[in-house]
Amino acid sequence: MAAFDKYEAETAFADDDVAVESLAEPSIHQHPKTVAEYLAMPEGPPFFQFINGKGVEMPAPSIFHQDIVLNIGSAIKTYLRTNPLGKVIIAPVDVHFSDTDYYEPDVIVIRNEHLHFLTQNRVIGAPDLVVEVLSPSTGYYDLSGKKAVYEQEGVREYWLVYPNERRVEVLQNTADGFVVLNQARRSGVVRSAVLEGFSLDIATIFE
């Protein structure tokens, strides 16, 4: 694990007398070759994922993609207000599995028993639930390398969202790896096992 994070959020602007004009302009960085180089970059875009040691830049997602992320994240947030099982976080959020696998899922849920995985700036360890909304630039990785790492690192539930098909597939991690727990296309409901009693109508996800 790298020994440093991005800006320390609690102290960056502790002095209220610091003028905005005095803040230094961020330096321009080359494409980072390692997780450590990425963590040394200033906060904010461009964002990268490291998949099997390869840095993959994440272009800005489509508005529809972001609508889906917001709809799912908001529904889980509402559920957690009355069922306080954990915390939901939407992208961008860094999830650090190893020095070669460092991802930014679209939505994650950390159950209360794993909240110690949260640091000030990232998650170190496997979220209990991960949602990836497939896009042309990242869908290949979501269905292959990242899926394999999520499985082996112990992500308990993996939601794959296919915007063009209006389809959601919920995978559950078992002794035999990921298996389909339930799915729906264009109509119907998908349900979570990690969040007991939580279900979501397909129409709500893609509205």
pLDDT digits (tens, 9 = 90+) for 180-201: 999 999 999 999 999 999 999 9
Please check the confidence at residue 56 and state whether its pLDDT lies above 80: no
- pLDDT tens sequence across 95-131: 988 877 878 899 999 999 999 999 988 899 999 999 9
- Quote the distance between the C-alpha of residue 144 and its chain's center: 16
What pLDDT was estimated at residue 173? 97
Going by C-alpha positions, the residue among 162, 23, 157, 5 that lies closest to residue 96 is 5
What was the pLDDT predicted at 60? 64
Q: Which of 20-24, 35-39, 122-126, 169-173 has the least mean pLDDT?
A: 20-24
CA-nearest of 134, 132, 49 to 98 is: 49
- Digit-coded pLDDT (tens) for 150-165: 999 999 999 999 999 9
- Decide if 95 contacts 101 (C-beta within 8 A): no
| Per-residue pLDDT at 49 | 58
164 and 154 Cβ atoms separated by less than 8 Å = no
Burial class (CB in 10 A: 0-12, 13-18, 19+), 6: middle
| The domain over range 58-205 is classified in CATH as 1.10.443.10 | no
Each domain of the chain, given as residue ranges in start order, spans 58-205
Cβ contacts of residue 202 below 8 Å, gap of 6+? 166, 167, 168, 184, 185, 186, 187, 188, 189, 190
Contact 5, 120 (CB under 8 A): yes
